[in-house]
Amino acid sequence: MSKKATVYLLSDSVGETAEFVVRAVATQFVGEELEIRQNSYVDEVSDIENVIKEAKQNNSIIAYTIVIDSLRSYLNKRAEEENILAVDLLHPLMNAFATTFQRAPIHEPGLMRKLDERYFQKVEAIEFAVKYDDARDVEGILKADIVLIGVSRTSKTPLSMYLAYKGYKVANIPLVPEVTAPVELFSIPKNKCVGLVITPDSLNVIRKERLKKLGLQQDSSYARFDRILEELDYAEKIMKRVGCPIINVSNKAIEETANDVIEILNMERSFQ
């Protein structure tokens, strides 16, 4: 091409997909001087007209990722009228999906970015759960979406990780009679904190199994019934002071408990 090549990118979202594809193609044309002009969040015909006006005056191509049918049709019509080559980067593949899998696209812009944001939100939540697991840093109480409290072996850590996978930042605090409960617990909204309780019999069985796996004596104070009752009594007093909702995790799957926690959190948010 004798003139400098210009590619106009139009997207009803950010336009990263269009830019990636165009740059990948451009690498196959060594020696060409290429200018890429990005036009993001195209949502009106006036946005398209501005690009058509410029493209007419240059040695150019329009490449687009527009999922809104009315805008896509308008762009194709105007490009044809002005004898400008407009390349649809999405719809040939979308049509293949629709034909082969017998499903209709939803034509909503920006879904890829939303998916990316959800992914990174999960990663951040998982890192948060690890950092603030088992009261490693009580500052997490003030930063968390959810704070779980309870005695040892009430599934605080696995529940924290499961909720993190759902995108919630969770801190968990073990309640032990010999350790003063963090003052931060008493300064957060009540429904942001959830107390986990369990029946003494269930906890006794779980702790004995834990000691067995560790190769320790099962008559350790950790699994003694009187010690368990003492811990549960102390935990109940702390939960009453906090005023938080309480969930009995006895014989409950992690998923079931997690749903209960999320329901409590959503209830709290609805009253804000």
Q: List pLDDT tens digits, range 189-243.
A: 998 999 999 999 999 999 999 999 888 887 789 999 999 999 999 999 999 999 9
Given a cut of 70, whether residue 2 has pLDDT beyond it is: no
**Helix or strand run (H / E) with residue 53:** helix 45-56
Q: Decide if 133 contacts 163 (C-beta within 8 A).
A: no
User: What pLDDT digit, counting tens, does each position of 45-88 carry?
Assistant: 999 999 999 999 888 999 999 988 899 999 999 999 999 999 99
Choice between 255 and 269, residue whose per-residue pLDDT is larger? 255
Distance CA 64, CA 92 (A): 12
Residue whose entry in the numeric block shows the structure tokens 């009430």:
154
- Rounded to whole angstroms, the Cα distance separating 87 from 91 reads 10
In the predicted structure, residue 115 carries a pLDDT above the cut 90: no
Whether the pLDDT of residue 1 is over 60: the answer is no
What residues have CB less than 8 Å from 52, skipping those under 6 apart? 78, 79, 82, 84
Which two three-digit tokens encode residue 89?
């980067």
For 224, phi then psi, to 5°, come to: -65, 140
Closest CA to 10 of 26, 21, 1: 21
List residues bridging with 38 in a β-sheet. 9
Run of H or E residues at 250: none
pLDDT the model gives residue 113: 63
β-pairing, 146-150 vs 85-88, is unpaired
Q: Kindly report the number of other CB atoms within 10 A of residue 107's CB atom.
A: 14
Domains of the chain, start order:
5-109 (3.40.50.2300), 116-270 (3.40.50)
- Which residues on neighbouring strands pair with residue 77, listed in sequence order? none
The pLDDT value given to residue 68: 87
Measured CA angle at 136 (ends 159, 192), to 5 deg? 50
Q: Please give the pLDDT value at position 16.
A: 80
Phi, psi at 156, each rounded to 5°: -65, -50
What pLDDT does residue 224 have?
94
CA–CA separation, 204 and 149 (whole Å): 19
